[in-house]
A = this chain, B = another copy of it.
Amino acid sequence: MAITLWDLTGAEADRRFSPYCWRIKLALRHKGLEYATIPWRLIDKGVIAFSGQGKVPVIKDGETVVSDSWTIANYLEDTYPDRPSLFGGEGGRATGRFVVDWAELALMAGIFPMIAADINGILDAETQAYFRSTRETFLGRTLEAAQAERETRMESFRRGLVPLRRMLKFQPFISGAAAGWHDYAAFSVFQWARCASPLQLLAADDPVHAWRERMLDLFDGFARKAVGFPV
């Protein structure tokens, strides 16, 4: 029986932009597990109340409900040990957590202000009101004011990619010779950005750009084919 994934969507039902859902969709493909998605909006808290919390991703696998992308990744690795490993052993699992937290600071926190108004632009009107209210409180200014600073923020963002850029001199993926959880955790943030915004985050000659291209090509171009902006 296929796994069900509640997957964040914009005004268009096929614009699936959550980085946390993207890393799980890629993890499910990595494991070769069948799944079906249910589009879910930020304001549809009641729909996923059965999970005991209010955020996606949520998966239902048979009678088992799991939420939080890190918890889901560990669930998939432990429940389907005969499928290709997401982590590549216990050291990879442990550092999988570190990469999640690095992606949160260096990627998410860096990119969010630069595309805050663009994200709002892909939402339906009802969700926009919720998004604007909660995110402007978080940012301490309007979405448009935050996004207007993108030129001055870009250099610092790209400098923060140094660990990723340097690592790519040694190997094609963070997880090593082939992509794995560490790559999905980081790439999903770039995929979130391209689903929501035309902003070009990476210079064409950046090794991080070449890595992102490899990630877009995985699973027969799965992420590249998704509704989003060209990068």
Contacts and interface: CB of A to CB of B under 8 A. Distances in A.
Given A95-B182, A182-B95, A176 B90 contact: yes
A182 B166 CA distance: 16
A94 B173 contact: yes
Interface string A86-117: 01111111111111011011100000000000
Contacts of A88: 89-92, 94
A87 B94 contact: no
Contacts of A163: 98, 101-102, 104-106
A175 interface: yes
Contact of A91 (B93, B97, B104, B106): B93
Contacts of A182: 91, 94-95, 98
Nearest to A95: B95
A91 B167 contact: no
A23 to B, nearest CB: 15
Given A89-B88, A90-B88, A102-B102, A95 B166 contact: no
A94 B162 CA distance: 16
A49 to B, nearest CB: 26
A175 to B, nearest CB: 5
A167 B101 CA distance: 7
Given A91-B93, A95-B98, 5 more contacts: A94-B182, A95-B99, A98-B164, A105-B160, A105-B162
9 contacts: A85-B91, A87-B91, A88-B90, A91-B92, A91-B95, A91-B96, A91-B181, A91-B182, A102-B102
